[in-house]
């Protein structure tokens, strides 16, 4: 394969991947049917009233305060270092061919 074709193939592959990802559905937190949300609110209110009558205490779920992000930071840093290493290697290799 010719050296001149490699950038074109790389750009084509990257463009194809971006076009494919364009059609991946995104998640959104809006209700599709407002009537269903109102029914759920009424059901939740009824459950809360029943629990209060039974003497139980309802608590909300933990929203993530104090979440340990250490694995994400370490993993992201590792991937960043690996990517930078690949870039440095490819630049060094391309300069070797230029000489």
Q: What is the pLDDT of residues 35-46, one digit of tens each?
A: 544 556 567 677
Domain ranges for the chain: 74-99
Nearest CA among 66, 50, 69 for reference residue 58: 50
Higher pLDDT: 93 or 82? It is 82
The reported pLDDT for the residue numbered 32 is: 58
Residue 87 CB-density burial (10 A; 0-12 exposed, 13-18 middle, 19+ buried)? exposed
Residues 6 or more apart in contact with residue 58 via CB below 8 angstroms: 47, 48, 51, 52
For range 54-69, the mean pLDDT: 64
Angstrom CA distances, 40 to 45, 58, 87, 89, stand at: 8, 16, 52, 56
Better-predicted residue by pLDDT, 22 or 37: 22
Degrees, nearest 5: CA angle 42-47-49: 95
Alpha-carbon distance of 55 to 42, in angstroms, equals: 20
d(CA 58, CA 14): 50
- The pTM for the full model equals 0.36
């Amino acid at each position: 394969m010719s050296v001149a074709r490699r950038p074109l193939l790389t750009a084509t592959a990257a463009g194809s991947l971006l076009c494919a990802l364009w059609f991946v559905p995104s998640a959104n937190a809006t209700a599709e049917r407002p009537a269903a949300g109102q029914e759920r609110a009424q059901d939740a209110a009824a459950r809360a009233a029943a629990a209060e009558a039974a003497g139980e205490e309802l608590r909300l779920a933990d929203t993530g305060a104090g979440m340990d992000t250490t694995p994400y930071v370490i993993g992201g840093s590792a991937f960043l270092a690996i990517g930078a290493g690949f870039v440095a290697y490819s630049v060094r290799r391309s300069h070797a061919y230029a000489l």
